[in-house]
């Protein structure tokens, strides 16, 4: 099957995570992605640890398969030098605070005059308009402002940070990709591009749809860790085994809950975790602490009750199930070594053939290809 975006050109002015992961996904399905970076040092992610022989692993994982052009966007004539690429581009992705691209002469209104069919995607924390549009922030701030961090923040004396970058990826990357694809489809009928305003804080709301129902619509007070899906019931929370490993108990449905209770021998009188969740959870915790995770894992698997041992990332990469599905089968070269590429939610039918996804270009490697050699200084 031909790759869906094989004739699409993407200009990528984004940095760090949300935009680069979005353009990585577009590249994986055939788009030609040109990444623009500062001359000399490139974007900040090139300097992040860990590294292999001086090359950032994180940068390579998110930027392989893209072209690299080094250009000072503040330099005189930068926009004119970029004009040929803007004229034939299909998508532009940027991640600056609102107004920055305008000051550089690369704002949506300016580039639309050059290319009316361009799909211009802006990814920011709070969007292009509103009181917080120019506010600085990171994922932790966005999920905090969206109200979802309050749902399970840990004990007051030892608050727990979220395990994943929900707003950056779920509120930034995924909405950007989805809306870019929708805009490409819409352009087939209209011939016109559009400006996509992706706000990471807003994209985070959908991850706690149940909190919207309970807290916003029904007006209920939601305590941290007190809801059905945040540890309020004994049947849906984390417990420690004797070896310190954790057991993820997700036995929401009654049949799974009863099967789990049978495995650990929980007395029938304590199984009603709706009426007294704390007493029930205390006894579940006590029983699970009696044995190591190696004791519980086969028993829980045999019971098929939505309960499992929490794995580390390295253990997950070795999991026979993921190996059987070749989840980590694709490789990226980092300083000449093959390393597992980041698994992305893209159907294999739309990817390039072969298991190698290539390398991350060196800074400015493709300037000559696009006629953008750095001008000589007098």
Per residue in 293-326, pLDDT (tens digit) is 999 999 999 999 999 999 999 999 999 999 999 9
**What pLDDT was estimated at residue 374?**
64
Give the position of tokens 């969740």: 277
**What pLDDT was estimated at residue 298?**
98
Question: What SS3 state is found at 91?
Answer: strand
User: Mean of the per-residue pLDDT values for the chain?
Assistant: 96
Task: Find the catalytic residue in 138, 195, 212, 291.
Answer: 138
Angle between helices 18-28 and 174-190 (to 10 degrees): 50
Instruction: Give the residue-averaged pLDDT of 180-187.
Output: 98
Per residue in 108-134, pLDDT (tens digit) is 999 999 999 999 999 999 999 999 999
β-strands 331-334, 307-309 pairing: unpaired
**What pLDDT was estimated at residue 378?**
38
**What pLDDT was estimated at residue 191?**
97
- Smallest Cα–Cα separation from 108: which of 132, 126, 81, 86? 86
The answer to whether residues 104 and 76 touch, using CB atoms and an 8 Å cutoff, is no
Query: How many DSSP H helices and E strands does the chain contain?
Result: 14, 14
Does residue 208 surpass a pLDDT of 50? yes
Does residue 376 surpass a pLDDT of 70? no
Assess whether 53 carries a catalytic annotation: no
Backbone Cα Rg of the chain:
25
DSSP state of 21: H
**What pLDDT was estimated at residue 375?**
55
Does residue 1 surpass a pLDDT of 80? no
- So where are the chain's domains? 9-206+327-370, 246-309
Maximum Cα–Cα distance for the chain, whole Å?
86
Per residue in 215-242, pLDDT (tens digit) is 999 999 999 999 999 999 999 999 999 9
Does residue 38 surpass a pLDDT of 60? yes
Q: What architecture (CATH level 2) is domain 9-206+327-370?
A: 3-Layer(aba) Sandwich (3.40)
Where residue 377 falls among pLDDT bands split at 50, 70, 90?
very low
pTM recorded for the entire structure? 0.94
**What pLDDT was estimated at residue 154?**
86
Per residue in 273-302, pLDDT (tens digit) is 999 999 999 999 999 999 999 999 999 999
Per residue in 333-358, pLDDT (tens digit) is 999 999 999 999 999 999 988 888 88
- Cα distance between residue 183 and residue 199, in whole Å: 17
Assess whether 138 carries a catalytic annotation: yes
Q: How many CB atoms lie within 10 A of CB 310?
A: 15
Label residue 15 exposed, middle or buried (CB < 10 Å: 0-12, 13-18, 19+). buried
β-strands 67-70, 55-56 pairing: unpaired
Per residue in 245-274, pLDDT (tens digit) is 999 999 999 999 999 999 999 999 999 999
Task: Find the catalytic residue in 145, 168, 197, 273.
Answer: 168
Per residue in 140-155, pLDDT (tens digit) is 999 999 999 999 998 8
Angle at 161 between CA 13 and CA 16, to 5 degrees: 10
Instruction: Give the residue-averaged pLDDT of 184-194.
Output: 98
């Amino acid at each position: 099957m031909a790759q869906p975006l094989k004739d699409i050109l993407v200009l990528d002015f984004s940095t760090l995570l949300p935009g680069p992961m979005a353009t990585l996904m577009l590249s994986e399905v055939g788009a030609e992605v040109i990444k623009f970076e500062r001359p000399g040092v490139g974007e900040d992610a090139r300097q992040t640890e860990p590294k292999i022989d001086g090359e950032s692993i994180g940068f390579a994982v998110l930027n392989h398969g893209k072209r690299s052009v080094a250009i000072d966007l503040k330099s005189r004539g930068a926009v004119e030098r970029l004009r040929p690429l803007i004229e034939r581009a299909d998508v532009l992705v940027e991640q600056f605070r609102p107004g920055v691209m305008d000051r550089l002469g690369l704002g949506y209104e300016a580039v639309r005059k050059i290319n009316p069919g361009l799909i211009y995607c802006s990814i920011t924390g709070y969007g292009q308009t509103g009181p917080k549009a120019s506010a600085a922030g990171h994922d932790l701030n966005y999920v905090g402002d969206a109200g979802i961090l309050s749902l399970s923040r840990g004990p007051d004396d030892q608050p727990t940070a979220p395990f994943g970058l929900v707003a950056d990826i779920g509120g930034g990357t995924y909405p950007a990709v989805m809306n870019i694809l929708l805009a490409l489809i819409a352009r087939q009928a209209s011939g016109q591009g559009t400006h996509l305003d992706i706000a990471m804080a807003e994209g985070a709301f959908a991850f706690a749809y149940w909190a919207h129902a309970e807290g916003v619509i029904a007006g209920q007070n939601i305590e941290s860790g007190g809801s059905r899906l945040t540890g309020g019931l004994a049947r849906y929370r984390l417990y420690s085994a004797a070896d310190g490993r954790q057991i993820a108990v997700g036995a929401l449905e009654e049949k799974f809950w009863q099967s789990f209770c049978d495995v650990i021998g929980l007395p029938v009188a304590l199984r009603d975790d709706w009426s007294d969740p704390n007493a029930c959870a205390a006894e579940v915790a006590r029983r699970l602490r009696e044995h190591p995770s190696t004791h519980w894992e086969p028993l829980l698997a045999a019971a098929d009750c939505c309960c499992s041992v929490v794995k580390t990332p390295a253990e997950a990469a070795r999991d026979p199930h993921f190996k059987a599905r070749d989840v980590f089968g694709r490789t990226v070269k980092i300083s000449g070594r093959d390393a597992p590429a980041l698994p992305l939610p893209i159907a294999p039918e739309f990817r390039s053939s072969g298991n190698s996804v290539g390398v991350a270009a060196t800074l400015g490697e493709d300037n000559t290809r696009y006629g953008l050699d750095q001008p000589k200084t007098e």
